[in-house]
């Protein structure tokens, strides 16, 4: 059994190995990064609305700064707010309590995971202080935008000059964040498999524990190619290797494949824990057992496997073979079937229940409605390669993306905080 000695606030905040303290640290850090992401979107949206006017609290927005803010807003909200909120915060607070153990299997690894995450935040924000400014090539880091003015595009620059750039710091920050989430995910899985209370079989686990662990497995299966691709991209910047330079025999489309092989499962990494939260809340406030428990677990696994083979629907206008585009389009539409089954199970939980409209219940209903009616239906449109050709890189895609991720991270996260606050805080 892990012993937790009584500490002062600062010592507890920085050095405690207790899973609740670490979950609280992730929560505060994610909220801190959300403030940056929120301020960035305020600046460039104000600019879109009012043109060249000076922006309150900011001033004049240059074109280069606009690209930097858009890029870092997207990256921060996905990697430094969404992932820690639904994986690290919920996993640390809920898994040990719900499986009947005192702490994680590896408390020290849990702490190292948080410190690595905090370091990634510092590295990302340090990119704004580089001589070149922050990275502004888009959160997807597509070449040649991610290597412009560096490496093979400018062979007269030195290794040191190429290293101290916003591009390099952005890639390093993403890599550190991924390493942090990998360490945390391993911890969650091992804890769930090996530290359950006596008599608590896998098929008796709360649905939210299943969802968090399946999300972690998806992350582990998909992130490897992107970590390798990030190293290749870093070498293109630092020493001009040309992995993604068509002139040198490389292929810029290769980066898109490496990125989206991770990028599409990442959507489900952010979505599944929130769906688990919604399932727990629906069951409680409709006063009914969760409907179709085993079926939902099976459907989530099917959706997870399918999410690994649909990545190229992000690349319908990137020059992929039309025959391959048809296959990816079909697979994308097929993936809606398990999610439709899950939505029916959630509605079955509500059906003829004694529903109580509490604050967490309202957040949960809002999450499911926003994700299903807006995120889901717009996703069906974009899954069609015929339609996507016209909608690609338009506000239709931006709306779909935000209707998918906003309810997943924020409405699901708020529902969880309201619902489990007594367990989180001990009050």
| Averages of pLDDT over each 10 residues, the chain, 427 residues | 63 84 95 97 96 92 94 96 95 95 95 96 96 91 80 60 86 95 96 95 96 97 94 88 86 95 95 96 96 96 96 92 94 94 96 95 95 89 93 94 90 95 82
Specify the pLDDT at position 185: 95
**pLDDT recorded at residue 55:** 95
What is the model's pLDDT at position 248? 81
Distance between CA atoms of 280 and 295, rounded to whole angstroms?
16
The CA distance from 102 to 98, in Å, is: 10
At how many degrees (to 10) do helices 252-285 and 90-99 cross?
50
Every domain of the chain and the residues it spans: 14-250, 274-427
Q: Are 119 and 67 in contact (CB under 8 A)?
A: no
User: Residue with structure tokens 């919604």?
Assistant: 278
CATH of domain 14-250: 1.20.210.10
Q: What is 109-166 written as a DSSP string?
A: HHHHHHHHHHHHHHHHHHGGGSTT-B--S-TT--TTTTTTTSGGG-TTS-HHHHHSSH
d(CA 332, CA 206): 29
In the prediction, which pLDDT does 149 show?
60
Q: Are 188 and 101 in contact (CB under 8 A)?
A: no
């Amino acid at each position: 059994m892990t012993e937790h000695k009584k500490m002062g606030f600062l010592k507890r905040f920085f050095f405690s190995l207790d899973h609740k303290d670490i979950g609280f640290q992730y929560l505060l850090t994610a909220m801190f990064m959300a403030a940056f992401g929120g301020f960035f979107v305020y600046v460039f949206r104000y600019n879109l609305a009012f043109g060249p006017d000076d922006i309150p609290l900011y001033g004049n927005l240059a074109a280069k700064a606009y690209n930097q803010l858009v890029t870092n807003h997207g990256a921060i909200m996905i990697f430094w707010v969404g992932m820690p909120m639904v994986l690290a915060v919920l996993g640390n607070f809920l898994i040990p309590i719900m499986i009947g153990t005192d702490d994680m299997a590896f408390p020290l690894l849990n702490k190292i995971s948080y410190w690595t995450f905090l370091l990634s935040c510092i590295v990302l924000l340090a990119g704004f202080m580089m001589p070149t400014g922050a990275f502004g090539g888009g959160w997807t880091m597509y070449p040649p935008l991610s290597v412009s003015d560096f490496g093979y595009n400018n062979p007269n620059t030195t290794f040191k000059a190429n290293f101290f750039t916003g591009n390099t710091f952005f890639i390093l920050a993403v890599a550190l964040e991924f390493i942090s989430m990998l360490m945390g995910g391993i911890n969650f899985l091992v804890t769930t498999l090996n530290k359950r209370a006596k008599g608590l079989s896998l098929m008796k686990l709360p649905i939210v524990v299943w969802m968090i662990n399946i999300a972690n497995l998806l992350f582990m299966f998909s992130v490897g190619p992107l970590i390798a691709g990030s190293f290749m991209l870093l070498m293109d910047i630092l020493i001009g290797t040309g992995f993604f330079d068509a002139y040198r025999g490389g292929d810029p489309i290769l980066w898109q494949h490496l990125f989206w092989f991770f990028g599409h499962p990442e959507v489900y990494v952010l979505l599944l824990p929130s769906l688990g939260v919604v399932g727990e809340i629906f069951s409680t406030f409709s006063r009914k057992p969760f409907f179709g428990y085993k079926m939902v677990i099976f459907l989530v696994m099917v959706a997870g496997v399918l999410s690994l083979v649909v990545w190229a629907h992000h690349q319908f206008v990137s020059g992929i073979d039309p025959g391959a585009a048809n296959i990816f389009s079909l697979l994308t539409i097929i993936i809606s079937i398990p999610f439709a089954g899950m939505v029916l199970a959630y509605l079955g939980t509500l059906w003829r229940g004694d529903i109580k409209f509490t604050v967490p219940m309202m957040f949960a209903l809002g999450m499911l409605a926003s994700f299903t009616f807006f995120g889901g239906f717009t996703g069906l449109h974009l899954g069609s390669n015929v339609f996507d050709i016209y909608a690609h890189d338009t506000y239709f895609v931006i709306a779909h993306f935000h209707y998918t991720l906003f309810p997943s991270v924020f409405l699901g996260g708020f529902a969880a905080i309201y619902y489990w606050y007594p367990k989180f805080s001990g009050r």
